[in-house]
Amino acid sequence: MQMGVRLSNSDNGGELPPGGSNAANNGSSRGPIIPKSPNEALKPERVPDPPRRSKKARSQVIIFFNFVMTMLVLVCLAGAAIFYYALSTYHGPGPLQANTNFVVREGAGIAEIATSLERNEIIEDARVFRYVTSVNLGYAGSAENRRSLKAGEYEIKAHATMQEVADLLESGKSILYSISMPEGLTVRQMALRLREDTILEGNLPSDLPTEGSLRPDTYKFSRGTNRAEILSQMHAAQQKLIDQIWERRDPDLPIKTKEEFVVLASIVERETGKDDERAHVASVFYNRLQKGMRLQSDPTIIYGIFGGDGKPSDRPIYRSDLQKETPYNTYKIKGLPPTPISNPGRAALEAVANPWRTKDLYFVADGTGGHVFAPTLEEHNANVKRWRRIEAERKAGTAAANQSDEVVDGQPDGADAEKPTGN
């Protein structure tokens, strides 16, 4: 019995269907798979051409649009990265290892400040500080809403963020220094203190204010403040204080002008440093003025001899000084000297505006830092003897031997003492 393989469809006369082997490989829907000889299987088959792009896809406008969109995406990604870096750097801890002082000069802009901060290793990136701070201060908006960083000296904390640094510089809470002007200094002595302060800057005017017109007080300022600015503050403060106290004065005072008021207050200021004595000392001088007596105040002698420079601390007042002719020597002149002899403080001004009501005409040191007062010369002479005895016990040797030529602290005694000539 013969067996065979049917190789072709009888309808096709034994030939391969159209499409050759490809048609045979298309699945059973096209007919049975036709085996190939090894040689035929190794022959390369022709790959069909890819489909042609549409005319729309080949358009130059579309190509350009795709390029632009790609660049926009890249720019947005880069911008987001920069934005993230800027904010993380701005709000992250700074490189400063320990607290330090930083000075912003007057008129410095954000760019200069940022560069200086980076140079001093307070911040990491000056550009980030500059641009982010500019936005926060409103530099992108209208000028009327724009804020600024203030000049001054600031204490920057270790590892401070850029945000913290910017907030501090914007607040203006700079380091404050102070200079003290004690009561009783002259204008020239106050000016010397201003010149010697190394934190202040600038020169004082060649024409200083008049004597008595500067207020003794402690003044606070930041680094770089001008000396003339402090001087102006002192002058304005004293004028305001004088006006306020003068308005509240006793209406029965024998002095009638504000100028005389300041002159007498400057003498009281130099006579005693005790607040509870000033009104008593003022009453003595008022009683003397009303009785036509010379004031015989030692500080006026000193000012007449040494002027605004002041007496050297190691030089006493000698009896010979009492006879020196100066416009300020109240041992020689009657009434008040022509100008104040110091800058009086509030306590002295208050004392002269509202003095005690006493009959005392004399006072002398009591040996304890204060004074003892007397209405008569006899009592005063006794007080002076007591003071000399205290001084003799305190001093010894040559100092005690030279004491007789020194003037007492207060009105003189004996023949040098002024006696009442009025009622």
The model's pLDDT over 201-215, given as tens digits with 9 standing for 90+, comes to 999 999 999 999 999
The model's pLDDT over 13-54, given as tens digits with 9 standing for 90+, comes to 444 454 444 444 444 455 566 776 777 767 777 767 776 666
Does the structural domain 100-171 have CATH classification 3.90.330.10? no
Identify the band that residue 122 occupies on the pLDDT scale cut at 50, 70 and 90. Answer: very high
pLDDT at 2 over 90: no
Identify the band that residue 414 occupies on the pLDDT scale cut at 50, 70 and 90. Answer: low
Instruction: Give me the DSSP letters along 96-122.
Output: --S-EEEEE-TT--HHHHHHHHHHTTS
Other C-beta atoms lying within 10 Å of the C-beta of residue 29: 5
**Token digits for 288?**
């003397």
Integer Cα distance of 177 and 275 in angstroms? 27
Lowest mean pLDDT among 20-24, 194-198, 204-208, 327-331: 20-24
pLDDT at 408 over 70: no
Instruction: Give me the DSSP letters along 12-60.
Output: GTTPPPTTHHHHHTT-GGG-S-----HHHHHSPPPPPPPPPPPTTTT-H
Q: Report the pLDDT value the prediction gives residue 62, as an integer from 0 to 100.
A: 79
pLDDT at 162 over 60: yes
Cβ pair 31, 9 in contact under 8 A: yes
Integer Cα distance of 340 and 185 in angstroms? 11
Quote the longest CA-to-CA distance of the chain: 180
Q: Which helix (H) or strand (E) holds 154?
A: strand 152-156
pLDDT at 170 over 80: yes
Contacts of 73 (CB under 8 A, 6+ apart): none
Q: Report the pLDDT value the prediction gives residue 339, as an integer from 0 to 100.
A: 98
Cβ pair 380, 287 in contact under 8 A: no
List, in sequence order, every residue forming a beta bridge with 104; answer none if it has no partner.
152
Q: Domain locations in the chain? A: 100-171, 176-243, 252-416
Opening angle at CA 9, ends 8 and 11, nearest 5: 140
Q: Report the pLDDT value the prediction gives residue 236, as an integer from 0 to 100.
A: 98
pLDDT at 256 over 80: yes
Lowest mean pLDDT among 57-66, 94-103, 322-331, 349-358: 57-66
Identify the band that residue 406 occupies on the pLDDT scale cut at 50, 70 and 90. Answer: low
Contacts of 155 (CB under 8 A, 6+ apart): 99, 100, 101, 102, 175
Q: Report the pLDDT value the prediction gives residue 30, as an integer from 0 to 100.
A: 56
The CA radius of gyration of the chain, in Å to the nearest whole number, is: 49
